[in-house]
Amino acid sequence: MSANKLVAPEGHSDAPARETARRARTRERLLDAAYRQFSEHGINGASIEAIADDAGFTRGAFYSNFSSKEELFFELTERENRARLETLREHFAHLVAPLGESGGKPAPAHIEGIIADVMSFQPDIRQWCLVQSEFRLLALRDPEVAPRFLAAAHSFQRELATMIDTAVRAVGVRFRIDTLDLTRLLIDQFDSAMQETILAGDDDPDRSVREKVMRTLPLLVHSLTTTLDGD
């Protein structure tokens, strides 16, 4: 019975972090494995042993790093959300750079393409969609996790909304509805396309999703936009 965690190991520092590089690595590997297992079997269907196995460990490693499957799941969603926001920002930066360079405003008709570009760049669509669905379902059932899910969803929505907003301003059009509402609408459409694609058993899901989105999004965006000069 060791008293490792019971007494703070630091004398004067208030940083509780006592993480070895080794520990961090195994945590990452466990998270990676959890990503695979959760997306394939769901949070209830994936056993702790299966996750540890997939990561190349035994359950001992798991219990040394996490206290429960839920904790692991939430850490996973946080990590992935961070990563998504990061790639989203990067991708957007690459997109708006040429807009400023060319000097003149691009054709407003291209706004749909820009929006589609911003949203379509989602690597690993399938796994992400599955884990996200699992997260949502968990949140729908359990009032305790609902705030977590809503926080993640909202932060993503806000981020994307400001991006769409600046892109739209740069192009010189406005929407007839609140940008955040529109963003939610677009996200819903995107999610729906993702799910349909997966359900159809389509290979190359990324391309298929983009095609699906582009089938209705242009008219939708067009119908909801107006130029800054009037109607």
Partner DNA sequence: TGTATCCGATACATGAGCGTATCGGATAGG
Partner DNA sequence: CCTATCCGATACGCTCATGTATCGGATACA
Closest contact distance (angstroms) between CB of 123 and a copy of itself is 18
CA-based torsion, 80, 84, 86, 90: positive or negative:
positive
Distance of alpha carbon 208 from alpha carbon 211, whole angstroms: 5
Q: Is 129 in the site for a copy of itself (CB under 8 A)?
A: yes
Partner touching 201 among DNA, a copy of itself, none, CB below 5 to 8 Å by kind:
a copy of itself
Cβ of residue 44: shortest distance to a copy of itself, in angstroms?
A: 4
Please pick, from the candidates 136, 165, 172, 179, the single residue that binds a copy of itself as defined by CB under 8 A.
136
- What lies within 8 Å, CB to CB, of 199 at 6+ separation is none
DSSP string, 131-160: HHHHHHHHHHH-TTTHHHHHHHHHHHHHHH
188 binds a copy of itself (CB under 8 A): yes
What is the phi/psi pair of residue 95, to 5°?
Answer: -75, -40
45 binds a copy of itself (CB under 8 A): yes
Q: The tokens of 146 are what?
A: 């609902």
Based on the shown chain and the rule CB under 8 A, indicate whether residue 224 belongs to the binding site for a copy of itself. Answer: yes
By CB under 8 A, tell whether 67 contacts a copy of itself: no
The whole-angstrom separation of Cα 23 and Cα 21 is 5
Least distance to a copy of itself, CB of residue 80, Å:
17
Interacting residues toward a copy of itself by CB under 8 A: 40-42, 44-45, 129-130, 133-134, 136-137, 139-141, 143, 146, 149-150, 176-177, 181, 184-185, 188-189, 192, 195, 198-201, 215-216, 219-220, 223-224
